[in-house]
């Protein structure tokens, strides 16, 4: 177990990332947290902002009661704000928001209003600072993430295949395309740290085929490497079959079913990782309490398939799986993005 202790090197790491977010001396910055937030990250954010001469203030909200039938992990859809108008107003008036909530406000219902007022926001993933230190944002990645976004925006279809048996087709026309730079440097922009992901929310009736999660792939909701393969059949956006032997398949079937909500089976976002500093194998080195798994979402060349809420398709649910898959070949129309899990061309 790593210690939650203030280290000068971590203050410098946070300050580096905030500099890439273009935090200015005298800028008013809101630090949003909840009672269950990782307090060392909240404290490091404050100290780093003060180091840069910014003027931070805190909004700390009690973590709301549990309402889901099962534990909720890594949704990007924090309910911490709970629609409180004074909180939304305060965040909207800050030009920069540091999001230290447990789940993050990336998909929270209040976020469009906050960003629409001109604020920019950075979600600091609920990781121990050691992981954040290794994955400090690199400005050299910005151009590649932007290029990936442009390729996705200009394409009609994404095709994904693998030697393990994945054969998936995703319609991109009408998709909501994004890219996580690892820094928020424009008004109205939201990013998360660690960064380096190109992704989109497909529209309705967009996803069909087979997704094979092979041995060694990761179920990030469970923070667990798979010991045996799982075969998902996806029809008209929804997982309709979960085939596989052993505990991993049983856990997935059980968690899906526990929601009692068809939307939990629907596609959320899809894309690929682009961060060369992120590692597939790093998960094994940490206790579960010390990580949120964003590193494994972002490692270069993975195909990221997620189930759950999808604003483009009008589906809301807290049921969520993030499934980074190794060894996939990804094409946008006829453009090769990754071959057998290795980024190609301008994205490499």
Query: Which domains does the chain carry?
Result: 8-134 (3.40.50.980), 139-180+195-347 (no CATH)
pLDDT at 1 over 80: no
Q: Cα dist. 144→81, 197, 247, 343 in Å?
A: 33, 10, 38, 11
Task: State yes or no: pLDDT of 67 exceeds 90.
Answer: no
At 86, is the pLDDT very low, low, confident or very high (cuts 50, 70, 90)?
Answer: very high
Does the pTM exceed 0.85?
Answer: yes
147-157 per-position pLDDT tens digit: 999 999 999 99
Mean pLDDT to the nearest integer, 97-112: 93
Alpha-carbon torsion (29, 132, 300, 243), positive or negative: negative
Whole-number Å distance between alpha carbons of 343 and 145: 12
What average pLDDT does range 121-146 have in this prediction? 96
pLDDT band at 3 (very low <50, low <70, confident <90, very high): confident
Mean pLDDT score across all residues of the chain: 96
Task: Note the pLDDT tens digit of each residue in 176-233.
Answer: 999 999 999 999 999 999 999 999 999 999 999 999 999 999 999 999 999 999 999 9
| pLDDT for position 76 | 77
> Band of the pLDDT at 2, cuts 50, 70, 90?
confident
Percent of the chain with pLDDT over 70: 100
Measure the CA–CA gap between 195 and 141, rounded to whole angstroms.
Answer: 9
């Amino acid at each position: 177990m790593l210690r939650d202790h203030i280290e000068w090197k971590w203050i410098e790491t946070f300050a580096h990332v905030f500099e890439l977010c273009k935090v200015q001396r005298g800028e008013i910055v809101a630090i949003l947290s909840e009672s269950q937030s990782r307090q060392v990250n909240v404290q490091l954010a404050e100290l780093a902002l003060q180091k840069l001469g910014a003027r931070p203030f805190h909004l700390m909200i009690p973590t709301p009661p549990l309402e889901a039938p099962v534990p909720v992990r890594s949704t990007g859809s924090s309910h911490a704000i709970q629609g409180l108008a004074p909180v939304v107003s305060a965040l909207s008036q800050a030009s920069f928001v540091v999001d230290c909530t447990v789940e993050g406000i990336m998909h929270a219902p209040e976020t469009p209003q906050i960003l629409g007022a001109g604020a920019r926001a950075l979600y600091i993933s609920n990781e121990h600072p050691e992981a954040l230190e290794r994955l400090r944002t690199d400005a050299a990645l910005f151009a590649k993430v932007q290029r990936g976004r442009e390729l996705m925006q200009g394409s009609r279809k994404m095709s994904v295949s693998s030697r393990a048996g994945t054969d998936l087709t995703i319609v991109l026309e009408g998709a909501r395309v994004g890219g996580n730079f690892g820094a928020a440097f424009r008004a109205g922009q939201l990013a998360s740290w660690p960064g380096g992901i190109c992704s989109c929310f497909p529209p309705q009736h967009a996803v069909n085929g087979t997704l094979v999660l092979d041995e060694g792939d990761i179920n990030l909701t469970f923070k667990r490497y798979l010991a045996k393969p799982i075969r998902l059949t996806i029809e008209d956006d929804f997982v309709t079959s979960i085939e596989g032997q052993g505990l991993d398949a049983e856990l997935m079937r059980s968690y899906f079913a526990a929601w009692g909500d068809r939307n939990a089976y629907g596609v959320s976002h899809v894309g690929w990782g682009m961060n060369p500093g992120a590692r597939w194998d790093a998960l094994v080195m940490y206790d579960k309490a010390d990580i949120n798994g964003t590193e494994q979402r972002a490692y270069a060349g993975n195909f990221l398939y997620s189930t759950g809420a999808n604003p483009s398709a009008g589906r809301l649910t807290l049921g969520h799986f993030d499934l980074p898959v190794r060894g996939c070949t990804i094409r946008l129309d006829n453009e090769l993005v990754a071959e057998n899990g290795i980024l190609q061309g301008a994205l490499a």
